[in-house]
Structures are given as structure tokens and as C-alpha cells.
Amino acid sequence: MAFLLSATAAILFLGHRLHMHGRTGLAIAVLAILAVPGLLYGLFALMIIVTSPHWN
């Protein structure tokens, strides 16, 4: 559990530092590591809501 929190904090810190030093493109790529799984889960939840599948 502590490893996941540390890795998340390190990614956020690295993205912030890269942005501060003018490496915006690289900062966006690093921060996308955290954004992509959340985006995929959001699309999955939206698909479940819209299609209303039968579970039986």
C-alpha cells in the first residue's frame, strides 16, 4: 500500500517539476500514466450505464 502511494506521489512530483522546468510535453506524458487508467474506468462505467446489460 505504501508503495502505491509513494509511486503516485513520485509521478505527480515529477510531472510538476518537469512542467516548472519548461518540459511541458514530457510532463503531460508522465502525468498520463495516472490519467489513462481513470479514463478507461470512466469509459467502462459509462458503457455499463448506457447499454444497461442483463446480468443473468
Task: Give the side-chain half-sphere CA count within 13 A for 1.
Answer: 0
pTM of the model: 0.71
pLDDT for 52 equals 87
Q: Kindly report, residue by residue over 2-53, the tens digit of the pLDDT.
A: 999 999 999 999 999 999 999 999 999 999 999 999 999 999 999 999 998 8
The predicted pLDDT at position 54 comes to: 84
- Whether residue 37 contacts residue 22, with contact meaning beta carbons closer than 8 Å, is answered with no
pLDDT at 56: 76
**Cell 515529477 belongs to which residue?**
14
